[in-house]
Amino acid sequence: MTTSAEGFFTPLFSTPEATECTGGRAWLQAMLDFERALATAQASAGIIPREAAEEIGRCCRAELFDADSIAQRAASSATPVIALVRDLAEQVAEPAKPHVHRGATSQDVIDTAAMLISRRALELIVADLRGAAEECARLADQHRRTVLIGRSLLQQALPTTFGLRCANWLIALDEAIGELERVRDERLAVQFGGPAGNLSSLGAAGSQVIRLLAAELGLAEPVLPWHTDRTRIAGLAGALGTASGVLGKIALDVKLHSQTEVAELAEDKPGGSSAMPHKQNPVSAVLVSAAAQRVPGLVATLLASMPQEHERAAGPWQAEWEPLVELLRLVASAAHRTRHLLSGLRVRTEEMAANVELTRGLIMAERVAAELAEQLGRSAAQELVGRLCRQALQHQTSLREELLGDTRVRAVLSEERILAATEPADYLGSTDDFIDRALNAHAGMEAR
């Protein structure tokens, strides 16, 4: 939580905006925002003088504090809040000193600060995810008839379209966005419970102060103080992990399609190699993948920290802080890079078409077998098409040629039906309808 120089690899796994809003100065200001809002709420509830609240608020500015000093002193108490409160009390005028941090405990400050930090980071993440979704919608519509070979277990399967692939990316992004927005709007709650979660020092005014404090900070009001109920942190981690998985899937697809032997996609600004001048590396997809690879471990750490002792944890709470920061930065970086990757994605339609023809029509065996089954029965049709596929491989011919030259096939299928049954662009099922459904669902989400 210091403002010292960021790590050597931080630019690879964060963005300048995400680093700033989750860095040491941002945490310091978020903790001070809690102290300012607490004083304001207590003044509104008649617990402390209005003048004291104004004086505390005047001093709750990060530039007035030595963040590095606070961070260094945190080790002696397992929290930076004690040093912060001591420094804040020294800043304010004498009449306001007794009212600093009134009724609060260290966890109130850090948990609420974590909610404020997360909200700011989520704004960045959601904005980039929405931008990525818009690019997917554009690509889905633009390439709804761009035939692409579908692959199953990394082998050629059946024809599909690149537009449908992008529509699938779109729906996954929209669902991830919806969950992140729900967490942001409903689950990021103020924390104020005092030392044991019952605000005993405030008497019957505790609930009123929580309500006023939540309103002052623009956070949700919890039913109860949630010191050792970590479902909010877990829900945030899960939503971020899901979004990361969606981004990782897109990056993986781009990497696979960018292989030299496939060459169906390319980034508009590929990276080079220190040794091989010819390389055109999909660096954005690589960095998104690297970020997504690290996220599950961080989510697991936050979930593992959920069981916490009694009313205040001894270790699991402290274990959350850095993984949460890293998680927010990684997902922010992945979302930002994915948005820009998609905006400049080069779709090589000629290579897609060439790869559809790579097996010389064998990918149409399913459809041909279905056509023949009407006359020959399913088992006989499957056996016949299987034999013709093997012949095509042996003779280095196409399935269409083998069908046209087989007397048993010609006895039940005309040349016109054979040509139609072996045309990949005519075997796309509900692709157009599915793309429309995805685009309509996306438009509906955007309208909300």
Q: How far is CA 280 from CA 19, 152, 247, 259, 274, in A?
A: 29, 26, 21, 10, 12
Give me the catalytic one of 25, 58, 312, 417: 312
- CA 105, CA 203: separation in Å to the nearest integer? 16
Residues in the chain: 448
* Three-class SS state of 368: helix
Among residues 200, 201, 273, 430, the one annotated as catalytic is: 273
Q: Mark whether 312 is an active-site residue.
A: yes
CB atoms inside a 10 Å sphere around CB 260: 8
d(CA 209, CA 112) in angstroms, rounded, equals 14
CA distances from 370 to 115, 151, 366, 394, 418 (A): 57, 20, 6, 23, 12
Q: Is 273 a catalytic residue?
A: yes
The dihedral region occupied by 101, where left means phi > 0, alpha psi between -120 and 50, and beta the remainder, is left
Residues 10, 11, 15, 16, Cα dihedral to 10°: 90
Q: Which amino acid is at 70?
A: I
How many of the other CB atoms lie within 10 Å of CB of 237?
26
**Hey, what are 134's tokens?**
């818009």
Contact assessment for residue 309 and residue 107, using Cβ atoms and an 8 Å cutoff: no
- The token duo for 347 is 């779709």
- How distant is the alpha carbon of residue 136 from its chain centre? 15
Retrieve residue 15's tokens.
């963005």
Angle at 116 between CA 314 and CA 71, to 5 degrees: 50
d(CA 286, CA 284) in angstroms, rounded, equals 5
The whole-angstrom separation of Cα 192 and Cα 198 is: 9
Neighbouring C-beta atoms of residue 251, cutoff 10 Å: 24
Active-site residue list: 273, 312
